[in-house]
Amino acid sequence: MLKVLDLFSGIGGFSLGLERTGGFETVAFCEIEEFPRKVLAKHWPEVPCFEDVRTLKGSDIGTVDVSCGGYPCQPFSTAGKRRGKEDDRHLWPEFSRLVDELRPAWVIGENVAGHISMGLDDVLSDLEGQGYACRTFVIPACAVGAPHRRDRVWTVAHADCTFTQGGSMSS
C-alpha cells in the first residue's frame, strides 16, 4: 500500500479515488475549512486532519509515498483577478515545501486551465529542482462523463533519483 498525504483535501476526492484502486492508504489530510473537515472525519475517522498547510510540517506526517492536492485555483483562474503570486491564496509554495520536506516518490497536483499561462512553469521548475520528473495533462470534465468541458490541469511527478538522509540527491 502506498501512503498518501492529501493536501487541500476538500471532502476527500483524491483519497476516495486513490483508495478505491486498492493500492493506496491515506495517512493524513490537510483542509482549512470546517465543513469539509467534518466530512473527512466521518469517512476517515482514524486519519488525522491538519487544518493549515502553512503550519503543517513534514515531521508532523512521517513517511509518505504520494503527496496530492488541488491547491487553490483563485490566483490563476480566468474567473478571478489572476493575481498569481500576489494573491494570499497562492499556496503552491507550501505544497512545494512539504514535498521538499517529505520527499514522496509521487506528487499529484490539480488546478484550473488558467494555470497553464500563469504559475505552472513555477510548479514544474520547483518540482524538477527537487529531483522530480514531471508531466502535465489537460483533462476536461466531459472526458469523465460531465456535461461540460471545464478543463483541468493535472501535474504528475515522480522522483527520478534517490534521496539520501538530509535531502541530498544521488542518481
Sign of the C-alpha dihedral, residues 90, 92, 98, 100? Answer: negative
Q: Greatest CA separation found in the chain?
A: 48
Question: Does the pLDDT at position 167 exceed 50?
Answer: no
Predicted confidence at residue 36, as pLDDT, reads 98
Give 166 or 64, the one with higher predicted confidence.
Answer: 64
Pairwise CA distance, residues 151 & 137, whole Å: 10
Predicted confidence at residue 161, as pLDDT, reads 60
For the chain, the average pLDDT equals 93
Specify the pTM: 0.91
Q: Where in the sequence numbering do the catalytic residues fall? A: 73
Pairwise CA distance, residues 52 & 105, whole Å: 23
